[in-house]
Chain A
Amino acid sequence: MIESYLPIFAQIVVAIVLGVLLSTLGVLIGPKRKTAQKLTTYESGIEPVGAAKERVSVKYYLVAMLFIVFDIEVVFMYPWAVSFREYGIAGLLSMVTFALLLLAGYFYIIKKGALEWD
């Protein structure tokens, strides 16, 4: 079984080598004339104002959190999808229950306005 995954390992190694190769090439071939002005942060031509890393909106954090929850839900669906046929309507209903409970959470999110981006 593990043999069938070896090509994937090989592909991963090749992809990493390609990345390293391209970055090194760029550094080796390109000119190196660094000036203090060239190395400043780009801000549409003006001097950078303030720090870049300000605190960002909690919405992003919330989206990531909700994503985890629903992603786990979807992960449970994969094994269900390949086996529910054997159990017929009961198999379907168990997933409907599962999904409905999460749908309650989904409507809670919508009602709370947690996904309003304005």
Chain B
Amino acid sequence: MQYLAVFFLAMELAHRVALGVVMITVIILSVVLTVWSERRVAAFIQHRVGPNRVGPFGLLQPFADVMKLLFKEDVVPSSANRFYHVLAPMISLFAAMTTVAVVPFANGIAIADVNVGMLYILAITSLGVYGLTIAGWASNNKYSLLGGLRSSAQMISYELAMGLSVVSVIVLADSLNMTNIVESQTANPLYWNCFRNFLGFVCFTVAAFAECNRAPFDLPEAEQELVGGYNTEFGAMKFAMFFLAEYANMIVASMVIVTLFLGGYQVPFWSEAPWFVQVGAFAAKTVLMIFVFIWVRWSVPRFKYSQLMNLGWKSLLPLALLNLLLVAAGVLLLGGK
């Protein structure tokens, strides 16, 4: 009897691990697609052609890039701290790959549907800071250290605005559970949080751009002044890992924005949609958000560091707080709708 219980437990765990592996594979594949589409969209915006030689439409270009990186020498500068030089990309990748665990892809389909899902995302996001800081510190390089410090200061500054806009979503949903947050937005697009909570939507999206170190907030790796920022001394697969983490972060951030503000898996005007339609709707919205990420990167110039800090502390933070109080008052006045 006891053996049977242990067996079932092992089966259950194996099932979960398999689910995790599948999810991470999906993310890696979407990273590949995103990298390709980013280069194509960028080329389109700049009236170029972009990669179109490797495979149909250049689709195999990212794979070729990965192969190239794989066969490059893994250089650790002699003055760098060996152990942390290896550890830093792993931390970044870890943070990027575990956030997705609580995002619901359809009603009842999530790796883990936990009660404090929203806070879990914030907790893991806050751990992402370490990857960049440690990378900068371990390289023992001026550019890296500055890049690492800048990016960690940037990430923690924008985490506040992010947290405050998340609170406004929680107020509307009356729950910390991701599925409940999606359900509270109903199948009527007018009730989605991007309309009910427009300021929160704007604050969160801007903060998410900053958290992902994407342009216009890509100061940590501003190549004109800091060479490559925190990843100056990283090459071969370690660079690939940072790159993977960066794009995975962007994809997961899009998923979170969709879940919190764009109705998640909700299909407009079809509340009882079957699960595959919901997954499709979720994927479509996520792709839309990723497109916005790419679009902004190739349209908006980079901030100065003082502007970036001013935006985070002096504009977004008070705006998010004001929005939170407005939303809370609105919820009390209108009784939750």
Q: Are B325 and A16 in contact (CB under 8 A)?
A: no
Q: Taking CB as reference atom, which chain B residue is nearest A118?
A: B306
Bound form: Cα–Cα A10–B115 in Å:
18
Number of residues in B with C-beta < 8 Å to the partner?
85
Q: Which 10 A-B pairs have the closest CB atoms?
A: A26-B237, A19-B90, A117-B306, A15-B97, A10-B16, A7-B112, A74-B163, A14-B20, A39-B78, A81-B170
Q: Are B141 and A67 in contact (CB under 8 A)?
A: no
Bound form: Cα–Cα A42–B141 in Å:
7
Q: Taking CB as reference atom, which chain A residue is nearest B113?
A: A4
Q: Taking CB as reference atom, which chain A residue is nearest B307?
A: A117
A35-51 CB mask vs B (1 if < 8 Å, else 0) is 01011111110001000
Which parts of B88-136 form the interface with A (CB within 8 Å)?
89-90, 93-94, 97-98, 100-102, 111-115, 119-120
Minimum CB–CB distance from B172 to chain A (whole Å) comes to 9
Q: Taking CB as reference atom, which chain A residue is nearest B28?
A: A18
**Residues A14 and B21 in contact in the complex (CB < 8 Å), given A6-B12, A41-B140:** yes
Bound form: Cα–Cα A100–B43 in Å:
48
Q: Are A39 and B153 in contact (CB under 8 A)?
A: no
Which parts of B169-198 form the interface with A (CB within 8 Å)?
170-171, 174-176
Of B19, B113, B120, B157, which is within 8 A of A10 by CB?
B19
Q: Are A95 and B145 in contact (CB under 8 A)?
A: no
Q: Are A56 and B149 in contact (CB under 8 A)?
A: yes
**Residues A92 and B174 in contact in the complex (CB < 8 Å), given A6-B12, A23-B90:** no
B45-80 CB mask vs A (1 if < 8 Å, else 0) is 000000000000000000000000111111111111
Which parts of A1-28 form the interface with B (CB within 8 Å)?
4-8, 10-16, 18-20, 22-23, 25-27
Minimum CB–CB distance from B156 to chain A (whole Å) comes to 4
B314 at the interface (CB under 8 A from A): yes
B154-167 CB mask vs A (1 if < 8 Å, else 0) is 00110110011001
Bound form: Cα–Cα A115–B174 in Å:
34
Q: Are B73 and A10 in contact (CB under 8 A)?
A: no
- What is the interface of chain B mostly: helix, strand, loop, or mixed? helix
Q: Are A71 and B102 in contact (CB under 8 A)?
A: no
A75-96 CB mask vs B (1 if < 8 Å, else 0) is 0011001101100110010011
Q: Are B70 and A30 in contact (CB under 8 A)?
A: yes
Residues in A whose Cβ lies below 8 Å from that of B24: 14-15, 18
Residues in B whose Cβ lies below 8 Å from that of A10: 13, 16-17, 19-20
Minimum CB–CB distance from A60 to chain B (whole Å) comes to 5
Of B98, B120, B140, which is within 8 A of A52 by CB?
B140
* 13 A–B pairs (Cβ distance < 8 Å), ordered by A: A7-B20, A19-B241, A25-B70, A26-B69, A38-B75, A39-B75, A42-B77, A43-B142, A53-B145, A74-B160, A78-B167, A81-B170, A99-B321
A108 at the interface (CB under 8 A from B): no
Q: Taking CB as reference atom, which chain A residue is nearest B233?
A: A42
B329 at the interface (CB under 8 A from A): yes
Residues in A whose Cβ lies below 8 Å from that of B35: none
Residues in B whose Cβ lies below 8 Å from that of A95: 325, 328
B29 at the interface (CB under 8 A from A): no
Of B19, B97, B170, B317, which is within 8 A of A18 by CB?
B97
Minimum CB–CB distance from A81 to chain B (whole Å) comes to 4
Residues in B whose Cβ lies below 8 Å from that of A38: 75
Bound form: Cα–Cα A40–B115 in Å:
50
Q: Taking CB as reference atom, which chain B residue is nearest A74?
A: B163
Q: Are B233 and A41 in contact (CB under 8 A)?
A: yes
Q: Taking CB as reference atom, which chain B residue is nearest A103?
A: B321
Of A52, A99, A110, which is within 8 A of B314 by CB?
A110
Residues in B whose Cβ lies below 8 Å from that of A110: 314
B310 at the interface (CB under 8 A from A): yes
B7 at the interface (CB under 8 A from A): no
